[in-house]
Structure 1
Amino acid sequence: MTIVRQNALNTTVNPSVNTPETLAEKRIEAERMHDVLILLQNLINSEEATVKLILDCLYDVGSVNIINQKLRLKPLNRVMKLIARMSKPVFKTLALNWFKKNCPQLITNWLNTQVAFERIQNVPQEIAVEVAELQPYPIPPTENPYQEIKNLRSQVRLLAWISIIAIAVLTVTAIRLN
């Protein structure tokens, strides 16, 4: 058995103890972050047109990028881009509702982490890992590579004949049923 050291990056050091002073600071912090949440909600409601334009731009860029990444065939790519343009109004409605519901809280949480200034300390952890030696898959030595190629070709011919027979049986069955 081998012991492997692994660094943990997300351990925070909190030197403060829960004193009445720190509890009051935490309460004030929670109130102020709640104020930030309310201000963000008001901002989104008053600037709804701006949010719609931002979502519109993000949809245009994101839909083209994901279609180009996932679909390499030109005709299919063009068809999907057309479908993406036609589905844009539905996306805008759903995205605006999602944005109003979730983004103020997400932005508030992110801002809170930015102003928390918590110290992160690297603490090595010992993890027991059992290491076993792997044996490579034994490749049988072929005495004659030409013989191996000949065997593979005969197997391909056999599969081709089986496919032809299966298609013929399927065709005959379909004709008889009709």
Structure 2
Amino acid sequence: MKLSHKEAQIEADRMHDVLLLLDHLAMREEATIKIILDCLYDIGSIYLINQRTKVRPLKGLLNGIARLSKPAFRFFALRWFQSTCPQLIANWLHAQVKFGTPSQDDTNTIEIVHVQDTLPERVQQQATEIKTLRTRIKWLTGALISIAALWGSTLMLGR
């Protein structure tokens, strides 16, 4: 179903209002967002450490480092949340209030067909990105272990 120009303008204005309200909510409820991010960080760091590290004594050291890095994570994650999530939530909500399936005339159908046509290319690109990210994780894990070892040896020599 196509919307008239006036209806489309009303829809765009109302979605802009929703975005502004979500943005205001994200700014006003900063303390709540920090608590949510802290909880997610605690869960995610435990899973990541348990998944990537097999040596039990090293897990304790990495858990300590994860606790020390939480304030830095909170700072960057809060900025990311406030700049990105209101738009993501507004887009999701907008998709929820569109009822029915798009017609053949709708541009969404064209976008879906376009995505399906390029799916193998996108899958290949995503596979390449995943390999790159895994390599970066290995390098960062090695760097983290090296830094922890240097930090520990510095503390031991300082005594």
For normalisation by structure 1, the TM-score amounts to 0.54
**Alignment-derived partner of residue 82 in structure 2:** 100
**Alignment-derived partner of residue 150 in structure 2:** none
1:84-140: CA deviations, max 9, x gaps? Answer: 11100100111111111111101111111111124169xxx9x9xxxxxxxxxxxxx
* Greater than 4 Å deviation, 4+ residue runs: none
Mapped to 1, the partners of 2:46 and 2:102 lie a distance apart of 39
Identical aligned residues as a percent: 51
Count of aligned pairs:
105
Mapped to 1, the partners of 2:100 and 2:86 lie a distance apart of 23
**Alignment-derived partner of residue 45 in structure 2:** 63
**Alignment-derived partner of residue 112 in structure 1:** 94
**Alignment-derived partner of residue 36 in structure 2:** 54
For normalisation by structure 2, the TM-score amounts to 0.60
**For the structure 1 residues 34 and 72, does the alpha-carbon distance in structure 2 shift closer, same or farther, using more than 3 Å as the test?**
same
**Alignment-derived partner of residue 167 in structure 1:** none
Which amino acid in the other structure matches residue 20 of structure 2? I
Mapped to 1, the partners of 2:100 and 2:91 lie a distance apart of 14
- Deviation of 1:78 after TM superposition, in Å, equals 1.5
Tell me the secondary structure at the aligned position of residue 87 of structure 1: helix
Query: Structure 2: where are the runs of 5+ without partners?
Result: 104-112, 118-159
Which one has a larger percent helix, Structure 1 or Structure 2? 2
2:5 to 13, 16, 23: 23
**Alignment-derived partner of residue 26 in structure 2:** 44
- Deviation of 1:22 after TM superposition, in Å, equals 2.0
Mapped to 1, the partners of 2:10 and 2:91 lie a distance apart of 16
Query: Structure 1: where are the runs of 5+ without partners?
Result: 1-15, 128-178
Structure number with higher relative contact order (C-alpha < 8 Å, ≥ 6 residues apart): 1
